[in-house]
Chain A
């Protein structure tokens, strides 16, 4: 009895393995070019990335205002003063015209640098917010989501840059894409920044990233007198 069962099992396995239809194969998506599936254009990629950055910025704004309500009940915008963020060392264009004057490669590099610089601090922020009992789970979830978004956004921007390079829009002078180092969020005095400071700085930097992407898109993809 057991022998026959074994034989049957062997037969089944052989059938499954040898049968070409029984095998589950993975075919690459869009292997056959435009006819196979829809390949997003550069404009679509930019739109997606910009939407993503907008979402990230709104999240950071929500968290920041929550934090302000928590720790700064007064209406005074005392907090909105000069703070030195850890990303202040990165030279970023401070205006629209400055950003427009900047080269595409540099602009892309700046974006990637910023996003890379915030990889670890966001994770750290989420950890500290989750540990503290002052925040509800909703806020800590937002922080986690924010960190994930930053990570995804960075990946997206890298893809966009790759595509631009493929299309010849970017020169090969961009070297900082891979050299973006992760920076430790250290304040002026060398101490670790607080949660509020992190939130304040990230809110500012996410707004920067969003605007830079818009400017970049406008320059790369020419549409209605951008």
Chain B
């Protein structure tokens, strides 16, 4: 019985040979494909590198290989997609970036903002101030799990605690009250 050592498909073998040749010539001459079979890495193969039944009788090889027609045979492109076809697909209007019509000007700072989103500049401003307040709170508490059960009131320069802030915790901030932080 004839024992076929490698894949009977000349196209697959040629592709793998070309890939391997390019790799060997190019990048790392010392680096081999590891324990892969000697005819190249399994890059984009439509069939597995070795067939499940390499042993074939001469009589059987004449008829259409029925085992190759089964689920192991993958879908593959028949022809190369031309650049014209590629361009039609890539430049189709549904792939182009759509114009945004929901950009406005923030009335507070004058930067641009999206209509349904907070202004980025104003949010960053508030975030910075909140961070400083939280640092003051941390200094006052002195550790984790020390949060009091009463409300907190933040007072800026020149503000005295009134009878409204009776049982509440006072946090002092050593700066002028920002215009956006309204005192109630």
A and B found bound together: no
Chain A residues with a Cβ under 8 A of chain B = none
Could you list which residues of chain B lie within 8 angstroms of chain A, going by C-beta atoms? Answer: none
